[in-house]
């Protein structure tokens, strides 16, 4: 086995050979802290700031090997970004089964409750290039590499359970259409342009996926609050070769939550790293990202029991038809040491399968079986990318593959072929009974043809199912998104074709979009809406019971009510939220009782879109100062517009009035707790800081309002933000 090393001993400058560790990454992690600077050949460098020149002002010399090595390495630092999913962010963790799946699969890592398998996960957007913003409207990748005791298993999924196309041969067409247009490379990381919608309008099979892409799912609040799906139907193969079809689901423990489109666009400018920063900071703060792994199992013989084809990746199995059984938990609890070495160099492949898990004949999946290995050859420069630390299997590799660019390990012996009688016969196949991977012996007969099956022909019923399952605010968001996207499409015929497709999904939906676009409304429905829904599809029905890792901004100025701040901050922090005191200047603000409260963020460096909730603690002088700051009023307006929880105490309520929130009921002077549409207020003189019931009730009401995530009841209250 290769024994990668290298932690330099600062004393001797020599490399100390450490023991190979379980995790190959641990063995190659290098700290240069305090070490003498060397060239790549290990020669100590005397000076790295001045080139070797003839005299102080003369030309540089070619013989300056240190200069040449330093610049040459720099010149070659970039590798091609991923052709799709270029923008991503990764973290380490582990997977733990909660039940044994030994009856259904011989996969070792699913057999024993509690047995941990290390994982690396990379989340991504699809369309944008490496430096694009996190919060664009897009599908999110959710790729998991399990380093199991029987080799690496990659579950390369997305945060939406279906896909745009049914057959992988169309993938290059789809990706060319969705990427920036080729003549001017505009727009970056956006689906709102002619070529994408032209393709979609001519590709009805994408209609179900487009409903997801137009919905709130396309703008997740956090990678930690987003579902993941294997998308395709896979196979679990159990003892005696018994096979079940399976759909994989990741369900975030914190629930599935989204941003608002206006917020997402503003974040793309104010904090383009919003999603990666969120994951990084949560893990650093000791809040791991957690997801349950669920499976929908369909016995082989029931494969044709549905009104769609299990092999069609544009279809879901509604959870109400086949329940999702929870079988394990994924915990991401360690950030990377080095973005490039880990997140950029990780190479996922849908064909990285382990015993007990197999693919099906889904034609999208079949094409992916080719693409992932192929793309790494150019992206990572040759066939040895499996030797990169993040890609290494945690079990030993033995085979007769040799050589190639960047080969790291030194294979000893003479025989690099099979069969051989030298070197003890070399590595020999294990056979099925000794842990060898066996493909499921599916019985197949057929003619060689290019033809989509009739069972793949219904492109609208599940798009309708999705529409039917949405709450009214979710539907409005879909309509708004469609108007936004198609509003940016210049070609009238494309808009009209899309309205026609929407009319196949649901008549009312098509009419609402047509109204927004100002295109002719379809005269009547072309298909009767089947009326079926799946409550599990609505984010209205997700977990809303926790404020863990939610971010609350406290608007502060000199003279603020310090006791309220202390009390509410402690309550929120105890519940797992993080609280930032935001003020016009850094340092500290004076409290009304003569104390000080330290400022966490200077107002000009943040915006309400970076927070889940806002608190204005009161204290007359502080509120007077805030009332004079347009930015403070805007902060409140914007948070209100985005449906976030807001709370104010005493004089602070005046800021809400000035921010024109009064269509919502606010506490009058002397009035106790008032809660309306996620706005929690307590009037002047009814302080929450003196302890007792008032305080507990205020805190409980605010915590509940933050946990609810968003308050759509106020969607129609016009606020200037």
Helix ranges (DSSP H) in 187-319: 194-201, 207-214, 261-270, 274-284
| Other CB atoms within 10 A of residue 697 CB | 16
Identify which range of 157-165, 185-193, 220-228, 382-390 contacts ligand HDE by CB under 6 A.
157-165
Catalytic residue among 85, 232, 349, 504: 85
Cα separation, 179 vs 186, in Å, equals 9
Q: How far is the CB of 141 from ligand HDE (least distance, A)?
A: 3
Kindly provide the b/e burial profile for residues 479-499, where b requires at least 16 CB atoms within 10 angstroms of the residue's own CB: bbbbbebbeebeeeebbbbbb
| Closer to ligand HDE by Cβ: residue 124 or 336 | 124
Q: How far is the CB of 168 from ligand HDE (least distance, A)?
A: 3
- Chain centroid to CA 291: 12
CB 385 within 8 Å of CB 468: no
Catalytic residue among 66, 152, 158, 391: 158
- Of 196, 295, 330, 364, the one binding ligand HDE by CB under 6 A: 364
CB 680 within 8 Å of CB 646: yes
**Of 678, 668, 671, 636, which is closest to residue 655 (Cα–Cα)?**
636
Rg from Cα positions in the chain:
29
Cα separation, 674 vs 658, in Å, equals 18
- Chain centroid to CA 190: 17
What is the per-residue binding string for ligand HDE in 183-222, x denoting contact by CB under 6 A? ----------------------------------------
Site membership for ligand HDE, residue 359 (CB under 6 A): no
| Closer to ligand HDE by Cβ: residue 363 or 562 | 363
**Of 185, 247, 190, which is closest to residue 213 (Cα–Cα)?**
190
Site membership for ligand HDE, residue 151 (CB under 6 A): no
Site membership for ligand HDE, residue 368 (CB under 6 A): yes
152 is catalytic: no
Site membership for ligand HDE, residue 541 (CB under 6 A): no
Identify which range of 362-370, 382-390, 570-578, 627-635 contacts ligand HDE by CB under 6 A.
362-370
Identify which range of 155-163, 274-282, 444-452, 686-694 contacts ligand HDE by CB under 6 A.
155-163
- Of 30, 367, 536, 575, the one binding ligand HDE by CB under 6 A: 367
- Of 122, 235, 507, 710, the one binding ligand HDE by CB under 6 A: 122
What is the four-CA torsion angle of 323, 327, 333, 335, rounded to 10 degrees? -70
Which residues between 76 and 115 bind ligand HDE (CB under 6 A)? Answer: 82-85, 88
Site membership for ligand HDE, residue 357 (CB under 6 A): no
Site membership for ligand HDE, residue 124 (CB under 6 A): yes
> DSSP 3-state assignment of 519?
coil
What is the four-CA torsion angle of 53, 54, 59, 65, rounded to 10 degrees? -40
- Of 196, 231, 268, 623, the one binding ligand HDE by CB under 6 A: 231
| Closer to ligand HDE by Cβ: residue 92 or 695 | 92
Cα separation, 540 vs 473, in Å, equals 9
657 belongs to an annotated ligand binding site = no
Site membership for ligand HDE, residue 161 (CB under 6 A): no
Kindly provide the b/e burial profile for residues 113-144, where b requires at least 16 CB atoms within 10 angstroms of the residue's own CB: eebebbbbbbbbbbbbeeebbbbbbbbbbbbb
Which residues between 670 and 709 bind ligand HDE (CB under 6 A)? Answer: none
Site membership for ligand HDE, residue 378 (CB under 6 A): no
| Closer to ligand HDE by Cβ: residue 373 or 427 | 373
∠ CA 431-432-433, rounded to 5°: 95
68 belongs to an annotated ligand binding site = no
Q: How far is the CB of 122 from ligand HDE (least distance, A)?
A: 4
372 belongs to an annotated ligand binding site = yes
Q: How far is the CB of 422 from ligand HDE (least distance, A)?
A: 38
Cα separation, 294 vs 256, in Å, equals 15
Identify which range of 91-99, 364-372, 395-403, 482-490 contacts ligand HDE by CB under 6 A.
364-372
Alpha carbon separation from 351 to 166, 312, 367, 374 (Å, rounded):
19, 19, 11, 11
CB 166 within 8 Å of CB 313: yes
368 belongs to an annotated ligand binding site = yes
122 belongs to an annotated ligand binding site = yes
541 is catalytic: no
Residue that has been written with the tokens 């070399």 in this structure: 426
Length of the chain: 721
Q: What is the 3-state secondary structure (H, E, C) of 461-510?
A: HHHHHHHHHCCHHHHHHHHHHHHHHHHCCCCHHHHHHHHHHHHHHCHHHH
Count of residues binding ligand HDE (CB under 6 A)?
A: 24
Q: How far is the CB of 372 from ligand HDE (least distance, A)?
A: 4
Site membership for ligand HDE, residue 249 (CB under 6 A): no
Cα separation, 245 vs 191, in Å, equals 33
Cα separation, 458 vs 309, in Å, equals 10
Residue that has been written with the tokens 């990780």 in this structure: 346
Identify which range of 367-375, 550-558, 653-661, 676-684 contacts ligand HDE by CB under 6 A.
367-375
407 belongs to an annotated ligand binding site = no
**Of 110, 115, 112, 108, which is closest to residue 94 (Cα–Cα)?**
115
Site membership for ligand HDE, residue 372 (CB under 6 A): yes
Site membership for ligand HDE, residue 235 (CB under 6 A): no
| Closer to ligand HDE by Cβ: residue 144 or 659 | 144
Q: How far is the CB of 85 from ligand HDE (least distance, A)?
A: 3
Question: 164 Cβ partners below 8 Å, 6+ apart?
Answer: 174, 200, 203, 205, 206, 209, 210, 314
Site membership for ligand HDE, residue 640 (CB under 6 A): no
Tokens of 25: 């990454």
- Of 188, 333, 371, 546, the one binding ligand HDE by CB under 6 A: 371
> DSSP 3-state assignment of 512?
helix
- Of 4, 93, 157, 220, the one binding ligand HDE by CB under 6 A: 157
| Closer to ligand HDE by Cβ: residue 375 or 660 | 375
Helix axes 630-641, 620-627, angle to 10 degrees: 90
Tokens of 638: 């914007």
Site membership for ligand HDE, residue 430 (CB under 6 A): no
Identify which range of 366-374, 408-416, 618-626, 701-709 contacts ligand HDE by CB under 6 A.
366-374
| Closer to ligand HDE by Cβ: residue 126 or 674 | 126
| Closer to ligand HDE by Cβ: residue 121 or 674 | 121
Bridge partners of residue 601, in order along the sequence:
582
Residues binding ligand HDE (CB under 6 A): 82-85, 88, 122, 124, 141, 143, 156-158, 163, 168, 171, 231, 346, 348, 364, 367-368, 371-372, 375
Residue set of the binding site for heme: 82, 122, 171, 368, 372, 379
Residue set of the binding site: 82, 122, 171, 368, 372, 379
Catalytic residues: 85, 158
């Amino acid at each position: 086995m290769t024994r990668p090393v290298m932690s330099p001993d600062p004393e001797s400058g020599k490399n100390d050979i450490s023991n190979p560790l379980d995790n190959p990454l641990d063995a190659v992690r290098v700290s240069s802290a305090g070490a003498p600077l060397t060239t790549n050949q290990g020669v100590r460098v005397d000076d790295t700031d001045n080139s070797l020149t003839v005299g102080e002002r003369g030309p540089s010399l070619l013989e300056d090997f240190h200069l040449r090595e330093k610049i040459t390495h720099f010149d070659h630092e970039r590798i091609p970004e991923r052709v799709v999913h270029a923008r991503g962010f990764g973290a380490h963790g582990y997977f733990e089964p909660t039940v044994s799946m030994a009856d259904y699969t011989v996969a070792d890592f699913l057999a024993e409750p509690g047995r941990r398998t290390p994982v690396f996960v990379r989340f991504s957007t699809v369309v944008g290039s490496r430096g694009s913003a996190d919060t664009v409207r897009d599908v999110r990748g959710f790729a998991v590499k399990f380093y199991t005791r029987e080799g690496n298993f990659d579950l390369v999924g997305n945060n939406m359970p279906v896909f745009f196309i049914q057959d992988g041969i169309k993938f290059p067409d789809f990706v060319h259409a969705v990427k920036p247009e080729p003549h001017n490379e505009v727009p970056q990381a956006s689906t709102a342009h002619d070529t994408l919608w032209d393709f979609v309008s001519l590709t009805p099979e994408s209609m179900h996926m487009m409903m997801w892409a137009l919905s709130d799912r396309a703008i997740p609040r956090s990678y930690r609050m987003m579902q993941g799906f294997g998308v395709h139907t896979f196979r679990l193969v159990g003892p005696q070769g018994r096979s079940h079809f399976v759909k994989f689901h990741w369900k975030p423990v914190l629930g599935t939550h989204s941003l608002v489109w206006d917020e997402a666009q503003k974040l793309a400018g104010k904090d383009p790293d919003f999603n990666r920063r969120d994951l990084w900071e949560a893990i650093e703060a000791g809040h791991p990202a957690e997801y349950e792994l669920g499976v929908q199992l369909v016995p082989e013989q029931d494969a044709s029991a549905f009104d769609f084809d299990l092999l069609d990746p544009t279809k879901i199995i509604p959870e109400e038809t086949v329940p999702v059984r929870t079988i394990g938990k994924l915990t991401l609890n360690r950030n990377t040491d080095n973005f490039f070495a880990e997140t950029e160099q990780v190479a996922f492949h849908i064909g990285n399968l382990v015993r007990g898990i197999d693919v099906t004949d889904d034609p999208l999946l079949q094409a992916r079986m080719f693409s992932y290995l192929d793309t790494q050859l150019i992206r990572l420069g040759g066939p040895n990318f499996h030797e990169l630390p993040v890609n290494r299997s945690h079990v030993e590799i033995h085979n007769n593959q040799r050589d190639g660019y960047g080969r790291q390990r030194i294979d000893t012996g003479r025989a690099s072929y099979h069969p051989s009688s030298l070197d003890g016969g070399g590595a020999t196949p294990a056979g099925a009974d000794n842990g060898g991977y066996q493909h499921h012996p599916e019985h197949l007969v057929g003619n060689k043809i290019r033809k989509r099956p009739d069972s793949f022909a219904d492109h609208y019923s599940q798009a309708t199912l999705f529409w039917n399952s949405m709450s009214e605010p979710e539907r409005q968001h879909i309509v708004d998104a469609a108007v936004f996207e198609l509003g940016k499409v210049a070609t009238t015929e494309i808009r009209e074709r899309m309205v026609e497709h929407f009319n196949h999904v649901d008549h009312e939906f098509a009419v609402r979009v047509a109204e927004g676009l100002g295109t002719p409304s379809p005269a009547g429905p072309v298909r009767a809406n089947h009326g079926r829904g799946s409550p599990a599809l609505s984010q209205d029905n997700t977990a809303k019971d926790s404020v863990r890792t939610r971010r609350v901004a406290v608007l502060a100025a000199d003279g603020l009510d310090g006791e309220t701040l202390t009390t509410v901050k402690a309550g929120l922090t105890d519940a797992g939220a993080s609280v930032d005191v935001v003020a016009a200047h850094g340092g500290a603000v004076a409290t009304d009782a003569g104390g000080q409260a330290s400022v966490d963020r200077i107002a000009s460096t943040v915006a309400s879109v970076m927070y889940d909730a806002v608190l204005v603690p009161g204290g007359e002088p502080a509120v007077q100062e805030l009332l004079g700051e347009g930015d403070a009023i805007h902060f409140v307006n914007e948070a209100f517009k985005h449906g976030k929880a807001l709370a104010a105490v005493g004089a602070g309520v005046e800021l809400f009035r000035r921010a024109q929130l009064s269509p919502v009921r606010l506490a009058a002077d002397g009035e106790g707790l008032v809660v309306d549409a996620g706005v929690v207020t307590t009037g002047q003189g009814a302080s929450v800081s003196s302890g007792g019931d008032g305080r507990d009730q205020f805190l409980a009401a605010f915590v509940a309002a933050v946990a609810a995530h968003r308050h759509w009841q106020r969607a129609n209250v016009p606020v200037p933000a």
